[in-house]
């Protein structure tokens, strides 16, 4: 099975967003990763629903939406309407995580939970049955192009063991500092999906870079 590749449009050329989304359509990318930041949960603001709707208009791949926002429960239905197929919320932002996950499912999306670098994966043990995707952050969220935090590899192994023990179909996705070297280490540790932004869009041939990431096994 090939590795799922979800290029992050946070690193795309915002002046040529339609062009870059069409490039992703033509590539072997499996999903399109969309980072939503509110300037509160993370110290940066990316883009909101109108830009996401514009991306959805041109995208032919599923939208893998990562909410780095303080109050994700307020916007679940809005992101469904904007085209999200996977909606990932942060463990750290959800006081009642189980209820949030049930609302995402009820809206017709796959559920994702992201963990910041300092957050222990064991905290997901009691809700793993309700999670379609765990997103391990291998950088501190908020900015693209950061250096990979090596401890993420151990976290992937740990969450993989939990998934195996509970016999769920939960996928493991990793976001931050992903390239061919770190990507191989993560896949070897048990990662199913890789998010890559600057590594893809900063390369000479993004389509070839996406292909090489997908071939990691």
By percentage, how much of the chain surpasses pLDDT 90? 93
Q: Look up the CATH number of the domain holding residue 198.
A: 3.20.20.70
Supply the residues annotated as catalytic: 35, 175
Enclosing domain of residue 126: 4-214
pLDDT bracket for residue 7 (50, 70, 90): very high
Among the listed residues 134, 138, 137, the one whose alpha carbon sits nearest the alpha carbon of residue 172: 134
The total domain count for the chain is: 1
List pLDDT tens digits, range 78-110.
Answer: 999 999 999 999 999 999 999 999 999 999 999
Query: What is the DSSP track for 65-92?
Result: EEEE-S-GGGGHHHHHHTTEEEEEEEGG
Cβ atoms of residues 163 and 174 within 8 Å = no
Q: How far apart are the first and last CA of the chain?
A: 8
pLDDT bracket for residue 217 (50, 70, 90): confident
List pLDDT tens digits, range 21-48.
Answer: 999 999 999 999 999 999 999 988 999 9
pLDDT at 146 (0 to 100): 73
pLDDT higher than 80, residue 142: no
DSSP state of 38: B
List pLDDT tens digits, range 175-204.
Answer: 999 999 999 999 999 999 999 999 999 999
pTM, to two decimals: 0.96
pLDDT at 143 (0 to 100): 67
């Amino acid at each position: 099975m090939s590795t799922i590749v979800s290029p992050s449009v946070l690193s795309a050329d915002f002046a040529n967003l339609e062009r870059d989304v069409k490039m992703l359509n033509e590539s072997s990318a499996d999903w399109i990763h969309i980072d939503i930041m509110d300037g509160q949960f993370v110290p940066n603001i990316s883009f909101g629903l109108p830009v996401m709707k514009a991306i959805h208009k041109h995208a032919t791949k599923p939208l893998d939406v990562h909410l780095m926002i303080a109050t994700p429960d307020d916007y679940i239905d809005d992101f469904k309407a904007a085209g999200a197929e996977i909606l990932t919320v942060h463990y750290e932002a959800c006081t009642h995580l189980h209820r949030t996950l049930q609302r995402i499912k009820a809206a017709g999306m796959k559920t994702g939970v992201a963990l910041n670098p300092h957050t222990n994966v064991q905290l997901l043990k009691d809700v793993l049955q309700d999670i379609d995707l765990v997103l391990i952050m291998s950088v501190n969220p908020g900015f693209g192009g950061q250096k990979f935090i090596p401890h993420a590899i151990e976290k992937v192994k740990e969450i993989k063991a939990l998934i195996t023990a509970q016999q769920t179909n939960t996928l493991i996705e990793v976001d931050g500092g992903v390239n061919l070297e770190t990507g191989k280490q993560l896949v070897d540790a048990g990662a199913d999906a890789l998010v890559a932004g600057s590594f893809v869009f900063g390369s000479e041939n993004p389509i070839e870079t996406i292909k090489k990431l997908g071939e990691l096994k």
